[in-house]
Structure 1
Amino acid sequence: MKSNLHFILFLLIPILSFSQTPISKKIYLDSLWNETTEANHKYYRITKSYNLNQDSYTVSDYYKSGVLQMAGTSKTKDYLSKEGQFIFYYENGNKRSIANYVNSRPSGKQFDWYENGQIKSEIEYLENQNGSISEISVNQFWNTENVQKVIDGNGDYEYSDDRQHENGKIKNGFHDGIWKGYNKNLNWSYTEIYENGKFISGVSIDSSNTEHPYDVIESKPKPKKGIEHFYGYIGKTFNTPKVQGLKGKIYITFVVDANGKIIEPKILRDIGYGTGLEAIRVLTSYGNWIPGQQRGINVRVLYSIPITIQSRY
């Protein structure tokens, strides 16, 4: 009996070790960072140890060329939930920025560089008492000629990326006076007024030359009858499979378009038995939302939700 026991243990040990071998997952992403096919991708993402249940996962994004674009840690493996320090790179290999995140929100100081390696800025994300980001302070800024234009929170600031450009005065770290900018992707411009860091009002002009006054820079989409009604609808309408002991979470993303319609639902993870397709059916059967806005103009917004399933059978 003793020798047989040893033999059984000998067989189990290598099987257990093999099952715990870390396996990475690779997905392809388009120019808007939505998952796509290999033929249409602009970036790709590697999530290490994807097959293991961990508190965090090492995630790296790459340009199509294979050059590292981003490196950091995610609290989840099926979608990016940023936590801790992230480093971003230009495609020439130079560092683009270093930032820290808490629950996917930037927190503390962020340092940025131009593509040629020259220092660009030091900004700081300030938190309020409930832990959310309340203000962004511009501490230092150098223009493309390597002339420092903001010194210890005072001066002229200019920001530009792939999507937008804006410029104005910085006073004690914050926006002040008249600011002007434009959105490169959506082809609209805007003028805003600030006073000691507080946003007062703004007017945007869209591609058809129509003006849109606004008193809130950005608003998220929301169900017309409220978020509680939305979740209640999902709970009442979702047909849970009659499978004994079935439970878990479905992760799904969708877009609320500029008209408030739910489109492009995508299953990130389901628990089988058609639960992902049922989630899509329920979502797309729900009525329209109040669309999200940026600077008074309706925009598409990507939304993600988990749906918890527990069979009663």
Structure 2
Amino acid sequence: MKKNTILLFLLFAVTNTFAQVKTQYFDEDWNPVAKEDMVYYRPEPKAVNGKYLFKDYYKSGKLQFEGLSLSKTEEKFDGEVKYFGENGKISGTSIFKNGVLNGSAKTYFEDGRLRQDALMKDGEEQTATVYTYKGTEIEGSPTLYDLITVFEKEERVKQIIYDGNLKGIRQEDYFHEGKAKYFGPDGKLLGEIIFDLYGNPNNGTMVEYDFNPMKVSHKRFFADGKEQVMEQI
């Protein structure tokens, strides 16, 4: 599973310089255009406590972005910047230091639920947690469970399959360690399995679930790569 590049729109401009400070007009790709062709526009930034407040708007006049820059003519953002959907709801936040992404960068779905939470350092993504919610359409079919996937430097390191409650019934996969843990409806550990180098179950207890709603289906027990017994729930 490869993580979608969700944060690209947070990086849309950092070092653009404008010849004149006035209302700017942009197309859907943030290229400068004439007023009649605009999709977004930016009024002249205003001075605020030694910085300059940049605000971008949709053609409709709804706020699309706001953030403080160290420069009136460059997008040298410093501090938290915010992005908004045309419905008025926040769609993302990110932390800049001296014009470079350093700190938290989050994006949200239109309904306000968290979509991705990343940690940036010197403009590069260090970690990212991606949220997929039950019922989300993936390849034409709705998912039957909630899913959280954790990446480090684009490498998937952890995954949690659950059903609405992160402390309840769930499966936790740890890819670096080559193991998985399984929990019941009360959040208690049901078993743990260690995989071999090829991803096959090697030692421990593997739990299989049914979904929608999520519930335990089978328990399988392994020793040295051989299945000992399967317990049907």
TM-score, with structure 2 as normaliser = 0.48
Greater percentage in strand = 2
Kindly indicate which of the two structures has a greater share of residues assigned to helix: 1
Q: How high is the TM-score relative to the length of structure 1?
A: 0.37
